[in-house]
Amino acid sequence: MSKRYWNIYLEEMMEARVHLGHKTRKWNPKMAPYIFTERRDTHIINLAKTARSLSEACDLAFDIAGRGKQFLIVGTKYQAADLVASAATEARCHYVNRKWLGGMLTNWSTTETRPQKFKDLKKEQDTGRFNRPPKKEAAMLKRQLDQLQKYLGGIRYMTSLPDIAIITNQQEESIALGECRTLGIPTICLVDTDCDPDLVDIPIPANDDGIASIQLILNRSTSAICEGRSLRSL
């Protein structure tokens, strides 16, 4: 795996409050190696270890992107949803930022038919065919399209299972993470002080509730993806 420099600065992570963990009563003992200290009943994450993990994640993302592989970014919690959509779109990744539908990956043979349904309905809408049926039927088709856009819009171009998943919250996305583990899909995941780092391939110890923290981790990861893809196209 390539080793590169990703401009990861401790001061910037401090400003983004990446170091702020959960209350000490909520911690997972498996996170002990990543905790620097505690302050006012709150665990403080060791940012030196965050930097190393994030650098390792960026190296992996760079290499995989350079081989033309598919990424899936998952973040359905309200703090992450818009950030996930923006970062994934910029890096040309697939994403899920609303509700994770159980079996989305493990029942892929069914899931893969839904984006095609979405594209068919979108084409009908764009060509004005929604205006031809009776109003009640047209309204039903519009609702169906809106639902597909909301839950599957981010994977409408995903033609096969992803090669790697980036997950912004282990607790919130436990079903998605479980499906990745079942299928052997490598995972990069933010792990706060209440998480289990053993469940992911590359755990990034970080505040998984703060918008600035999530944004920093996503921005570095997707920058690595974009750089890997740009070198592949040379």
Q: What is the CATH number of the domain that holds 132?
A: 1.10.287
Alpha carbons within 13 angstroms on the beta-carbon side of residue 108 total 13
Question: How many whole angstroms separate alpha carbon 35 and alpha carbon 194?
Answer: 11
- Same domain? 92 vs 197: yes
- Same domain? 52 vs 136: no
| Count of C-beta atoms within a 10 Å radius of residue 57 | 24
Residue type, 141: L
Whether 168 contacts 84, CB under 8 Å:
yes
- Same domain? 28 vs 86: yes
Q: Take residue 53 and report the two structure tokens written for it.
A: 């993990």
- Which residues constitute the domain of residue 184? 15-100+160-231
- Same domain? 92 vs 181: yes
- Residue 5 domain flag: no
Q: Which of 151, 186, 218 is the last residue of a domain?
A: 151
Is 226's pLDDT higher than 70?
Answer: yes
DSSP 43: E
Q: Which of 118, 151, 184 is the last residue of a domain?
A: 151
Q: Take residue 108 and report the two structure tokens written for it.
A: 């892929």
The tally of domains found in the chain comes to 2
User: Between 124 and 214, where is the model more confident?
Assistant: 214
% pLDDT > 70, the chain: 94
- Residue 86 domain flag: yes
- Residue 7 domain flag: no
- Same domain? 176 vs 143: no
Handedness of CA 196, 86, 93, 229 (dihedral sign): negative
Query: What pLDDT does residue 158 have?
Result: 92
- Same domain? 120 vs 220: no
Separation of CA 49 from chain center: 21
**Mean pLDDT, the chain, whole residue set:** 91
Query: What pLDDT does residue 84 have?
Result: 98
Query: What pLDDT does residue 67 have?
Result: 95
- Same domain? 45 vs 83: yes
User: Between 164 and 147, where is the model more confident?
Assistant: 164
Question: How many whole angstroms separate alpha carbon 190 and alpha carbon 169?
Answer: 6
Query: What pLDDT does residue 147 have?
Result: 80
Query: pLDDT band at 233, cuts 50/70/90?
Result: low
- Same domain? 48 vs 80: yes
Query: What pLDDT does residue 12 have?
Result: 96
- Same domain? 23 vs 75: yes
Question: How many whole angstroms separate alpha carbon 37 and alpha carbon 44?
Answer: 5
User: Which residue, among 87, 90, 91, 115, has the nearest Cα to 101 in the 3D structure?
Assistant: 115
- Residue 91 domain flag: yes
Task: At 62, give phi and psi (nearest 5°).
Answer: -60, -50
Among 3-12, 29-38, 130-139, top mean pLDDT goes to: 29-38
Give the C-alpha distances (Å, rounded to integers) separating 90 from 8, 14, 146, 180: 20, 25, 23, 23
Is 194's pLDDT higher than 90?
Answer: yes
Query: What pLDDT does residue 120 have?
Result: 75
- Same domain? 119 vs 71: no
User: Between 13 and 233, where is the model more confident?
Assistant: 13
Question: How many whole angstroms separate alpha carbon 222 and alpha carbon 217?
Answer: 9
Question: How many whole angstroms separate alpha carbon 116 and alpha carbon 138?
Answer: 19
User: Which residue, among 47, 60, 52, has the nearest Cα to 187 in the 3D structure?
Assistant: 60
pTM for the structure as a whole? 0.90
- Residue 8 domain flag: no
**Domain CATH code at residue 197:** 3.40.50.10490
- Same domain? 90 vs 175: yes
- Same domain? 189 vs 222: yes
Whether 35 contacts 192, CB under 8 Å:
no
- Residue 4 domain flag: no
Is 234's pLDDT higher than 60?
Answer: no
